[in-house]
Amino acid sequence: MPSFRVAAAHHAYPVVVERGIVGAAAKYLPDRAGKVFVVSSEDVWRHKGDALVKALDGRAYQVLFLPGTEEQKRLAPLEALAEEMVNRGGDRSSVVVAFGGGIVNDMAGFLAAIFMRGIPVVQVPTTLLAQVDASIGGKTAVNLRSGKNLIGSFHPPAAVLIDPAVLDTLPDREFRSGLWEIVKAGIIRDTALFDYLGQHCADVLARRPQAVDHIIAESVRMKVEVVGADEREGDLRRILNFGHTFGHALEAEAGFGQALLHGEAVALGMLMAFDLSARLGLCPKESARRVRQHFEQVGLKTELGLIDADSLLARMRRDKKVKDGRISLILAHDIGQAFISREVTDAALREFLSQQTKTLASATRAH
């Protein structure tokens, strides 16, 4: 199975995709590591803790728990955990092993970034979304009341261990939510991955190991390439946000809960980005139609209610990607060809949104 290396300007780290790699976690702890703090959530630990316990057999380590919900992805639990680390003898030689989904990944990563001004973190992602997206690239954050991921820092991990075997207990809806980030990887930069997903859709949805391992490895390859070339989020890395400006606004409107998971919001956002690209004549209508067909094949189910176009637009404006009053959108010239546009006028966007939001709720229920 493939092993990649993020090679950014100031550091490099391995990203290993391999069934069973959790069992070799001890090998990836930095040399001369002092106390090892495994940071997880109770839910993940109950499902998958055994695998890591076996891997760390013979090492001194302690397990600390985060609440693990988006509402509690806040600074306060990190302060409490940092106190606990100090009480248990943590110091500058300590290491964090982040074991969980994207929430644990972001929180434990941020904790490592600020504990004693920064200690290493090994990321061991346990959701599909965290494996192909959140664990790679060194972005860490917690939410503020005023918005998602508004405080955080870049803290590249010492290593990322991606073990597709840990996904076997992941609920189906979470699996599918992560799948949309893989669809995204194909759509923005990798037509071979997009085609593979089309041809092997049934195998992927049935979670056949060969198919799942392949698409994880390919989207990890894509993200590693992009992050290595552009760690600090210039235009290249920003194409990874395809579908996210629309998606985040929808997610916020839906209340960041079970009504719309992150990946589902991104899926709707990607459809919107393609529709807008086609409507503006930037992309062939046929490609937008192919994308929609592909999405129907993967299956998109949400419980989204009616969305108000004006409040969606207001949320998009508040998004941190607004520069000089212009919303920068990631649009597509075709499948595999995403690009950043700062040209879409407010009026065009408002008209597009009001037309889209009318069909959104009914369209999503139909699939």
C-beta of 35 vs 148, nearer to ligand NAD: 148
- Residue closer to ligand NAD (CB basis): 35 or 262: 262
With respect to ligand NAD, which residue has the nearer C-beta, 163 or 334? 163
Active site residue 367: no
Cβ proximity of 97 and 134 under 8 Å: no
Residue nearest to ligand NAD (CB): 102
- The Cα 84–Cα 107 span in angstroms is 15
DSSP secondary structure code for residue 29 in this structure = S
What's the min distance (Å) between Cβ of 355 and ligand NAD? 29
Task: Give min distance, CB of 325 to ligand NAD, in A.
Answer: 26
Cα gap 272→330, rounded to integer Å? 11
Select 72 or 337, whichever has its Cβ closest to ligand NAD: 72
Is 139 tagged catalytic?
yes
Cβ of residue 64: shortest distance to ligand NAD, in angstroms? 15
User: Would you call 343 a catalytic residue per the annotation?
Assistant: no
Q: Judge contact between 219 and 182, C-beta under 8 A.
A: yes
DSSP 30: P
Catalytic status, residue 244: yes
Q: Tell me, yes or no, if 326 is annotated catalytic.
A: no
92 is catalytic: no
Residue 42 in contact with residue 65, Cβ under 8 Å? yes
Angstrom distance (rounded) from CA 218 to CA 295:
19
Q: Which residue's CB is nearer to ligand NAD, number 33 or number 142?
A: 142
Which one from 155, 248, 294, 315 is the annotated catalytic residue?
248
Query: Which residues lie below 8 Å from residue 271, measured CB to CB, with a gap of 6+?
Result: 243, 291, 292, 295
Least distance to ligand NAD, CB of residue 262, Å: 5
Q: Which of 233, 238, 321, 350 is catalytic?
A: 233
Q: What are phi and psi of 242, to 5 degrees?
A: -50, 130
User: Is the CA virtual torsion 299, 301, 307, 310 positive or negative?
Assistant: negative
Catalytic residue, candidates 35, 48, 73, 139: 139
In sequence order, what are the residues at sequence separation of 6 or more whose Cβ sits closer than 8 angstroms to the Cβ of residue 327?
A: 245, 316, 317, 319, 321, 342, 344, 346, 349
Report residue 97 CA to chain centroid gap.
18
Specify whether 181 is catalytic. yes
**What is the binding site for ligand NAD (CB under 6 A)?**
41, 43-44, 47-48, 68, 70, 73, 100-104, 106, 126-127, 129-130, 133-134, 137, 139, 148-149, 166-167, 169-170, 174, 262
Decide if 155 is catalytic: no
Q: Which residue has the tokens 């499902």?
A: 47
> Which residue out of 35, 184, 189, 223 is catalytically annotated?
223
Catalytic residue numbers read 117, 139, 181, 223, 233, 237, 241, 244, 248, 262
